[in-house]
Amino acid sequence: MMKSEIAKRLEELKKALYEHNYRYFVLDDPIISDAEYDRLLKELSEIENAYPELVTLDSPTHRLGGLAAEKFEQARHSLPMLSLDNAFDTGDIHDFHQRIMKFLENSKDRILFTAEPKLDGVALELIYEKGILVKALTRGDGETGEVITANVKTIRNIPLKLQTSEESIPELLEVRGEAVMDKAAFENLNKYRLEEGQPLFANPRNATAGSLRQLDPSVTSGRRLSFYAYGVGIHEGAGFSSQIDMLKYIADAGFMVNPFIKGRISVDEVIEVYNDLLEKRPGLPYEIDGMVVKVDDFRLQAELGIKAKSPRWAIAWKFPSIQETTKILDIKVQVGRTGAITPVAFLDPVNIGGVMVSRASLHNADEIKRKDIRIGDTVFVERAGDVIPRVVKVVETLRNGSEILFEMPETCPECGGEVFQDKDEAVLRCVNVSCPAVVKEGIIHFAAKDSFDIKGLGESLVERLLESGLIKSAADLFVLDIEKLAALERMGVKSAQNIIKAIESKKTIEAWRFINSLGIRHIGQQTAVLLSEKYPDIQMLFKALPDELEKIEGIGPVAAESIAFFFHNPLNKAEIEKLFSYGVVLKKPEIKAAQGKFSGKTFVLTGTLPVMSRDEAKKLIESSGGKVTGSVSSKTDYVVAGESPGSKLDKANQLGIKVLGEEELIELLK
C-alpha cells in the first residue's frame, strides 16, 4: 500500500473507533463485539508503530496508557474552579432563591434553575484546542491543579476528539466535570487489593483520586473510571446562553451528561427533583452526596457574579448524612495547637457511607452534658456533611447501668499545666505555650500545605524531632543538623537529605503563607491574605492596634483582638525574628497593575462582546489596573455594553454612568 492509502486507512480506523467507543461507553449501545473492536484497535496500533510520523494526539491508542511520569506538573486554571455554598433543607433553598430575587430585583426575567446530581468523585477540567484533548487538570485548590492528561486519556467515555462537525469545532473549549468510580468497580478493586494484601480504599471517591494520581497511566487504565460533564470554563467558538443549552452542546460533542439532570425548572420543582433523587440514591450505580442547583440563564449568572470563593448563582443541596449506631468504647481528650482541649469519642469501628469511622469529636464539655454522652453508651453517629464524624444522640433505652460519666481534666493531660476556660467560650484550654502537644500541633500546622508546605514533614516525624530534642520550635527546623537527623530511627542519610532539601526550598515564602503558618487563633488563610495585602512589611503588624485592624474589610472584632494580642506578645515576636535570622525571607508582593491607566476605576461588563469575549475584556481591564464587578452601583465608573445588554445598561443610564461600546473600550486600552 502507498503511504497515502495507509494514512487514509488510519483515519478510517480512528473514526470507526471514536464511533464505537462513544456507542459503548456513552450511549451503552454497542453495534460490534469486543473482539471486533480489539481487532480494529490492533490494526491501528500496528500502523502507528510502523509509521510513527502519522500518530496524532487524538489517537484511540493513547487510551492504553503511556510512559510513567516522575511527578505531576501543575498548571493554573484559566478561570477558577469555584467551590459552592451548601444548603441542607428546603428553608436554605428558599433563602437562596430569595437572595437571588433580591439581587436581581430590577430584572423582569423569571428565575429558572437546573438541578443536577452532585456526584461524589474528583473534579476535572479537560482542555480542547481545535477539538483535540490537549490537557487535563485536577481541580486542585480551585486556582491551580495537577496535570494528569495521560491518565485522563485512559477514561473510555472521555472523547479524545470532539464529535462536532469540522466547521463548528471550537477554537478552545474547557470542559469541567466529575470523574467517578461506580460501586461495582469499587467493590471489585477492593476485592483484588484484599487478595493481593494491599490496603483497601475507604470509598469510591478515594479510589477515584488514587487511580487518577498514579504516575504510571497504565495503572489508571486498569481502573474502571467514568466522567460526567457538568460545565465549561473558557469557550471560544462555542455558543450557548444557558446551563441546560450548554449541557446539550457538550452532550452532542460526545460527553456523558447525567441523565437525571432537570433544566429550566422553578424553585418548587427543584424541591421535587431533590426528593426524587434522594429516593433514587441507594439504587444508583455511583455515589452521590446531594444535588447542585444553578440559575439556568447565563446572562443572569453573570449579573449575579461571585463572592470571595463561591458563585451567587449556584448552591450544593447536601443529602442528610448517613447514620449508623455503634458503641462508645472510651472518651479521651486531645490538645490542639491553640491549647484547646477537645474530648474525643473512641468508637467501636463502624462503616458509614463507605468509610470506617472509629472516633468522633465531642467538641467540649457542654456538648457532652447537653447530649448526656457516657462511656459505654450506644449512640447514633453520622458523617456531618458526609465528611466529619459526629455523635448525634444517645440510645438511652439500651443503657444497662455500666455506663461511666466523663469529666473534663482539671490539668492539661499532656504537660500537667494549668487549664483555663474563657467566660465567652465553651472550650477548655491549656495556658502553657511550651506544652508538648501545643508545640507539636503548632509545628504540624507550620509545615502544612497552606503554610510553609514542607513535603515529608508529617505528624510522626515532628513527634520524633521533638522527642529527640532536635527541635523545640518551628524555627529550629531551619537549622537542623543533617547527621543528627539521619541518626533518627527509620530515617537514614537519604531521607534526611530529602527533608533538609524540602525545608531549605521553602525559606522564601509568600507573606500570607508566613502569617498563616503562625497559627494565630481565629485567623485562617483568607484573613492571612488580607493582612499580607494591608501590611506588606510584617514589622508593621507588631504595632497594629485592634481598632486599626478591624477597619480592614473581612476582619471582625474577635479576629482583630487576636491578631493584635499575638503580635504584641514579645515571645511571638522573638520567634518570628528567629525565623528571619535563620534565613526565612518573605517574597516581595507582585507589583499589581493598579498603576495602569485604569487605576482606581471600576467597570461592569454586560451583553455579548462581538470581537473579544467578556473574559478577555476583564483580563485586559485588570491588567491596566481596573476592577471589574458584577453589578452597577454609584461607585461604577464605566459600563461596557455589548449586544443584548439587559438591565445593567438601564441602571447605568439611570445613574448617569458613562457607557462604552466594545470599540471604545479597545480604543481606551491601546
**Residues forming the active site:** 118
Q: What DSSP letter does each residue of 237-284 carry, written as one string?
A: S---SBHHHHHHHHHHTT----TT-EEEE-HHHHHHHHHHHHHHGGGS
For residue 581, report the phi and psi dihedrals to the nearest 5 degrees: -70, -25
**Is there a contact between 40 and 20 (Cβ–Cβ < 8 Å)?**
yes
CA neighbor of 447 nearest in space, from 484, 492, 502 = 502
Give dist(CA 292, CA 310) in Å, integer. 13
DSSP one-letter string for 312-337:
TTEEEEEPPPPEEEEEEEEEEEEE-T
Spatial distance between the Cα atoms of 71 and 80, rounded to a whole number of angstroms: 23
| Residue length of the chain | 670
3-state secondary structure 562-589: HHHHHHCCHHHHHHHHHHHHCCCEECCC
CB burial readout 246-273, b (16+ within 10 A) else e: bbebbbebbbbbbeebbbebebeebbeb
Which amino acid does the sequence have at 670?
Answer: K
| Residues 58, 133 contacting (CB under 8 angstroms) | yes
Instruction: Determine the Cα–Cα distance for residues 232 and 235; give it in Å rounded to an integer.
Output: 7
| Three cell numbers, residue 189 | 478493586
The label of the residue with cell 444497662 reads 400
3-state secondary structure of 591: coil
SS (H, E, C) 183-222: HHHHHHHHHHHHHCCCCCCCCHHHHHHHHHCCCCHHHHHC
DSSP string, 28-59: S--SS-HHHHHHHHHHHHHHHHH-GGG--TT-
Q: State the DSSP string of 383-440.
A: EETTTEEEEEEE-GGG--S--B-----SB-TTT--BEEE-TT-S-EEE--TT-HHHHH
Asked if 380 and 350 touch (Cβ cutoff 8 Å), the reply is no
Q: Would you say the C-alpha torsion 62, 38, 177, 192 has a positive or negative sign?
A: negative
Count CB atoms within 10 A of the CB of residue 4: 8
Q: Where do the H-state alpha helices sit in 519-646?
A: 525-534, 546-550, 557-567, 570-581, 614-623
Cell numbers describing residue 414: 499532656
Torsion angle, alpha carbons of 323, 326, 331, 332, to 10: -70
Half-sphere exposure for 420 (CA within 13 Å, toward CB): 11
Secondary structure class of 289 (helix, strand, coil): strand
Strand order in the sheet with 638-641: 627-629, 602-606, 638-641, 658-660
